[in-house]
């Protein structure tokens, strides 16, 4: 039995960190061999085991054979006669199809404080197994598929797009780009399941340059299949006085990258993705104006979230931002009554944390414009302050006093609102 550590992209000093938990490939072993050594079985579809002490994953070397369209149509073959090279051949990219023997894997541990630690190139020159020239592609910063088996799993299109967003200085090999287009044209992407689409989409949104993911998906045609509402934004003009970049798709790219620069959480980044979906449905005869796009954006966002089973916290914030971002942008001109109506519509008094995330998404929107990248977004802190003023009102005490005064139902709420209005007005 021989054990190897697949390496490659783990060791790129990317924005999300150079290293993840180690995983291992075991060659020349059976499931019985692993359990006899104390490893715990965790894989249902694949022969994967947990180390009894480290809890790292150890997978038996395997090959895969395509049997049906889509992501799940595979037959897995794992046996002691499967070689390391055969196992590496089923991987997506050459930079992920490199391995080190277990005895040498510690040489690249980024936790090491040894100043003289060898480089990846030095380690692989001496000890590495690199049958598909992954090290060369790492050095040239190229994302390239390993073999034609890439076409058998449409999830790999999403993974590659995510890698491109994580490592924006990497280019995609022309033959790989062509293969992705062929896969889309063959209808493979249409068979992807919601769970995997959302998983990869979420990871891509959390990269240093999320716009790159959507650029790659758009170029190969996958975006039109998976997210037609998003794909429709490119080529749609906006009023230049508000959007010097003009193109709605370019604006979206800038907003997404602004969210990354601000280190926004996933909920905010997804809201940024969906905030302007309605502009893709604006009738041509009213362009470049987009009257009522907020309501259309909310409706399209709801449908998108249902289709891809987006988690509820992301869905709710995205719908809120889609509907209210125009009002939040215009809130500098709001008086106390308009501010309170906005807070109530956003359920800000009951869910202040979500409202603050909405303000962050709106700041990303404001900064996702040509020449506006570093401008202050005064609406955000102003509304946060006004929310705090409204929250300072002791609604329970006011309600109790109103009841003592003989008020009921809406009259009680009106008295609370009056006090809140006064608190907001005194803060304006």
Rounded CA-CA distance 82/39 in Å is 20
Answer positive or negative: Cα dihedral of 131, 132, 134, 139: positive
Cα-based angle 253, 212, 259 (whole degrees, multiple of 5) = 50
All residues at 6 or more sequence positions from 25 whose CB lies less than 8 Å from its CB, including other chains: 3, 4, 5, 6, 58, 59, 60, 61, 84, 87, 99
Evaluate if residue 340 carries a pLDDT over 70: yes
* Per-residue confidence (pLDDT) for residue 127, from 0 to 100: 86
Give the pLDDT band of residue 116 (cuts 50, 70, 90): low
In this prediction, residues 195-199 reach a mean pLDDT of 95
Q: What average pLDDT does the structure give for the chain? A: 90
**What gap in Å lies between CA 203 and CA 160, rounded to an integer?**
12
Separation between Cα atoms, residue 27 and residue 25, nearest integer Å: 7
d(CA 134, CA 121): 11
Are the C-beta atoms of 240 and 250 separated by less than 8 Å? no
- Per-residue pLDDT, 8: 63
More confident residue, 389 or 62: 389
Domains of the chain (ranges; CATH) run 2-140 (3.30.460.10), 227-389 (1.10.3210), 392-428 (no CATH)
Q: Could you read off the pLDDT of 85-114 as tens digits, one per residue? A: 999 998 899 998 999 898 887 776 655 544
- Predicted local distance difference test score (pLDDT) of residue 108: 66
Half-sphere exposure of 1 (CA within 13 A, CB side): 15
pLDDT at 103: 84
Instruction: Give the separation between CA 173 and CA 313, rounded to whole angstroms.
Output: 37
For residue 10, what pLDDT is reported? 56
Nearest alpha carbon to residue 294 among 269, 264, 274, 324: 324
Q: Say what the pLDDT of residue 102 is.
A: 86
């Amino acid at each position: 039995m021989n054990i190897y550590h697949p390496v490659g992209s783990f060791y790129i000093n990317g924005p999300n960190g150079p290293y993840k938990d180690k995983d291992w490939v075991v060659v020349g072993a059976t499931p019985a061999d692993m359990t006899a050594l104390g490893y715990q079985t965790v894989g249902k579809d694949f022969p994967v085991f947990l180390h009894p002490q480290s809890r790292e994953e150890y997978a038996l070397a395997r090959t895969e054979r395509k049997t049906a369209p889509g992501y799940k149509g595979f037959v897995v073959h794992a046996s002691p006669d499967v070689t390391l090279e055969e196992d590496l051949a089923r991987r997506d990219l050459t930079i992920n199809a490199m391995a080190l023997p277990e005895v040498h894997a510690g040489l690249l541990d980024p936790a090491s404080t040894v100043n003289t630690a060898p480089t990846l190139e030095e380690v692989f020159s001496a000890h590495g197994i690199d049958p598909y020239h992954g090290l060369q592609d790492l050095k040239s910063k190229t994302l390239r598929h390993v073999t034609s088996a890439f076409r058998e799993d449409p999830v790999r299109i999403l993974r590659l797009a995510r890698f491109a967003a994580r490592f924006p200085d990497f280019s995609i090999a022309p033959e790989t780009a062509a293969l992705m287009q062929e896969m889309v044209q063959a209808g493979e992407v249409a068979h992807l399941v919601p769970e995997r689409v959302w998983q990869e989409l979420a990871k891509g949104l959390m990269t240093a340059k999320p716009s790159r993911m959507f650029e790659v998906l758009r170029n190969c045609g996958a975006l039109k299949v998976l997210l037609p509402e998003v794909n429709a934004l490119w080529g749609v003009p906006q009023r230049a006085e508000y959007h010097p970049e003009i193109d709605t798709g370019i604006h979206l790219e800038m907003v997404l990258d602004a969210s990354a620069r601000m280190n926004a959480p996933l909920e905010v980044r997804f809201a940024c993705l969906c905030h302007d979906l309605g502009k893709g449905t604006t009738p041509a005869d009213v362009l470049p104006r987009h009257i009522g796009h907020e309501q259309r954006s909310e409706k399209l966002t709801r449908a998108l979230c249902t289709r891809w089973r987006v988690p509820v916290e992301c869905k709710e914030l995205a719908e809120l931002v889609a509907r209210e971002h125009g009002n939040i942008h215009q809130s500098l001109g709001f008086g106390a009554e308009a501010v309170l109506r906005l807070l109530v519509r956003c359920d800000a008094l009951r869910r202040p944390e979500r409202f603050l995330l909405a303000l962050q998404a709106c700041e990303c929107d404001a900064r996702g414009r040509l020449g506006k990248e570093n401008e202050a977004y005064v609406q955000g802190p102003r509304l946060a302050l006004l929310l705090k003023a409204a929250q300072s009102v002791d609604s329970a005490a006011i309600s109790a006093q109103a009841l003592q005064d003989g008020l009921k139902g809406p009259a009680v709420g009106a008295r609370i609102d009056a006090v809140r209005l006064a608190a907001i007005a005194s803060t304006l």
